[in-house]
Amino acid sequence: MDEYGRFVDWDKMDVSAQSQDTKELTCTEFQELKQLARQGYWAKNHSLRAKVYHKLISSIPCRTVTPDANVYRDIVVKIVGKRSSSSLPLPEFVDNSLVPTYCLNAEGIGAVRKIILCIANQFPDISFCPALPAVTALLLHYSKDEAECFEQVCRILACNDPSKRLIDQTFLAFESSCMTFGDLVNKYCQAAHKLMVAVSEDVLEVYSDWQRWLFGELPMAYVARVFDVFLVEGYKVLYRIALALLKFFHKVRAGQPLESDSIQQDIRAFVRDIAKSVSPERLLEKAFAIRLFSRKEIQLLQMANEKALQQKGITVKQKRQNVHLAVHAENFKSEIVSVKEMRDIWSWIPERFALCQPLLLFTTLEHGCSLSRFYSHSEGHEPTLLLIKTTAKEVCGAYLSTDWSERRRGGNKLSFFGTGECFVFRLQPEVERYEWVIIKHPELATAGAETENHSSPALSTLSSGSVPSEPSDRLSPFLAARHFNLPSKTASMFMAGSSECIIVGGGDGQALYLDADLNHGRTSHCNTFNNQPLCSETFQISVLEVWGFRD
């Protein structure tokens, strides 16, 4: 067929992929290359795609000593010997991953195992890399021989650009990516996340499959399109595609009973058969329509998750803690929420804190209705969970990402702080979660505290004095002014506290205000997206609790 078709079973290939239209790629500008990749410019020309892959991979900055094609030719006979390539055992670090055939012929299927064994020989520092078989099989499609494929995979693995993440090679990196994906699902696929929580005993176990969806279950025509863009734009693309897959799964399967006993198996089956419902073009279109965090924000989130795992001592593969079991029934007692309700809240919080146990810090039933006591018991803990039960039996609350001691930076004035991981929620009479807390109702600050003259800085402006200068170890990494040096006039605020009141802003226009006596509160809201209010506009507090997170 062509010089790059040695390992391809053309009878299994999509006819459109065999087009031999004469095309060349002459552009070198990143933006133009990005657009061509997304549009599938080289998707229907096997030879052109092979040349583009070679060009893109050759430009990856690598370690000084990176194994090349000549190394492969030198070591392959010694490592493989006379063993049949089809029966070669794979190294432990691929974690029994699927070895997709991707329309390879018999020679190609055997060659994948030979190449992986030689890579294991040259990269002893790789401890966990389940994506490697799929990446190797895909690149073999577009290689002249085994040695060329070996060199291209090695260059991807040996990338030494700290800003360019490609393939996870340790369990710590892989597991933190699963947690990061869980955080992103929690933000961008709330309907799907709600389904996962309802039908799965361990949500993180479901999300730990996200790379398998891409590098294992996704058909050849789809994974090649994903890889086109991945080589140009990097790791963030993988999160986009996985989020789009989950969105389509929820849309197609919404309201239908599970086809198996496991939501995990159902998602895998959906991805395998995705051609029945979604084209590659539609999948990419959906993925790039998601207004995802910046690459820097995602990197910070990933680092925070890695640090949480390291602090827990989880750096090698072991049985994952069931997130739902993080709230143990025998050790949990609240006057406001049940164990089930607390587990539901736990499914909303960032993954790195879902590893922790809830710890009761303050309750009005024991510590009285004093704002100063509220602060003294809550300070020193980050994050915290605020729970409120009203005399009308409404239950609402907030996840607060930042230590309340940050309020002191504003002196006696109402001080604004917090990050974009804050959110408010309602449990009774109906469950509702309001995303991305932003204080935007200055009237709340002055409604009950006219004498304090808090109205001069509007709540939509962050005073420079309230921006902490040093990052906390456990700070939420994204939308934090202290991390990104956001200008004070555009930085978002999420929490506010003084000796007179507490304010927690809410997504979709929700905001919660508590008086200093912790007996009364009020809300402000605008019903965007038909959301119900957090609770009554004015309410009397029956019980208030503050929970921390115990390692």
Distance CA 37, CA 233 (A): 9
H/E element holding 360?
Answer: strand 357-363
**CA separation (Å) from 213 to 219, 289, 299?**
10, 20, 22
How large a percentage of the chain has pLDDT more than 70? 82
pLDDT at 532: 62
Q: Where is average pLDDT lowest: 164-178, 465-479, 488-502, 507-521?
A: 465-479
pLDDT at 290: 93
Taking only the tens place, the pLDDT of each residue in 260-277 is: 678 899 999 999 999 999
pLDDT at 16: 58
Tell me if residue 457 falls in helix, strand or coil: coil
151 inside domain: yes
DSSP secondary structure, 380-406, as one string: T-SSEEEEEEETT--EEEEEE-S-GGG
Which residue did the predictor score with more confidence, 450 or 93? 93
Distance CA 330, CA 327 (A): 9
Distance CA 419, CA 411 (A): 20
Q: What is the mean pLDDT of residues 160-177?
A: 91
Q: For residues 213 and 123, state if they share a domain.
A: no
Nearest to 495 by CA among 439, 445, 434, 433: 439
At 116, which amino acid appears?
Answer: I
Taking only the tens place, the pLDDT of each residue in 469-490 is: 333 343 344 444 333 333 343 3
Q: For residues 139 and 80, state if they share a domain.
A: yes
244 inside domain: yes
484 inside domain: no
Asked if pLDDT for residue 460 goes beyond 50, the answer is no
344 inside domain: yes
Distance CA 448, CA 459 (A): 15
Instruction: For the chain, give the mean pLDDT.
Output: 81
Total domains present in the chain: 3
The domain boundary, picked from 158, 193, 220, lies at 158
Q: For residues 152 and 28, state if they share a domain.
A: yes
Most confident of 27-41, 72-86, 140-154, 478-492: 140-154
33 inside domain: yes
Considering the entire predicted model, what is its pTM? 0.77
Helices (H), 189-219: 190-199, 203-207, 210-212
117 inside domain: yes
Residues 6+ apart with CB under 8 A from 170: 126, 127, 128, 315
The domain boundary, picked from 158, 191, 217, lies at 158
449 inside domain: no
The domain boundary, picked from 158, 180, 214, lies at 158
Asked if pLDDT for residue 296 goes beyond 50, the answer is yes
Taking only the tens place, the pLDDT of each residue in 329-380 is: 677 899 999 988 888 888 888 888 888 889 999 999 999 999 999 999 999 9
Residues 6+ apart with CB under 8 A from 310: 172
Which residue did the predictor score with more confidence, 517 or 240? 240
Q: For residue 272, what are the domain limits?
A: 171-312
What is the distance, to the nearest Å, from the Cα of residue 137 to the centroid of all Cα atoms in its chain? 26
Asked if pLDDT for residue 283 goes beyond 60, the answer is yes
Q: For residues 512 and 406, state if they share a domain.
A: yes
Which residue did the predictor score with more confidence, 2 or 175? 175
Nearest to 356 by CA among 337, 396, 383, 386: 383
Q: For residues 59 and 178, state if they share a domain.
A: no
Q: For residues 243 and 294, state if they share a domain.
A: yes
Q: For residues 280 and 304, state if they share a domain.
A: yes
Which residue did the predictor score with more confidence, 434 or 360? 360
Q: Where is average pLDDT lowest: 147-161, 281-295, 357-371, 412-426?
A: 412-426
Can you read off the two tokens belonging to residue 205? 């176990």
Distance CA 327, CA 360 (A): 12
Can you read off the two tokens belonging to residue 433? 């979660």
Contact 504, 511 (CB under 8 A): yes
Q: Where is average pLDDT lowest: 382-396, 406-420, 454-468?
A: 454-468
Distance CA 216, CA 378 (A): 46
Q: For residues 16 and 116, state if they share a domain.
A: yes
Q: Where is average pLDDT lowest: 204-218, 378-392, 411-425, 475-489?
A: 475-489
pLDDT at 169: 94
Q: For residues 364 and 419, state if they share a domain.
A: yes
Distance CA 136, CA 151 (A): 10
Residues 6+ apart with CB under 8 A from 500: 371, 414, 448, 449, 452, 515, 516
Q: What is the mean pLDDT of residues 431-454?
A: 46
Contact 414, 445 (CB under 8 A): yes
Q: For residues 366 and 282, state if they share a domain.
A: no
Q: For residues 409 and 505, state if they share a domain.
A: yes
Tell me if residue 62 falls in helix, strand or coil: strand
479 inside domain: no
Can you read off the two tokens belonging to residue 200? 């799965």
pLDDT at 459: 31
**CA separation (Å) from 228 to 56, 101, 294?**
10, 18, 20
pLDDT at 121: 94
Q: For residues 394 and 415, state if they share a domain.
A: yes
pLDDT at 198: 83
Phi, psi of 17, rounded to the nearest 5 degrees: -75, -10
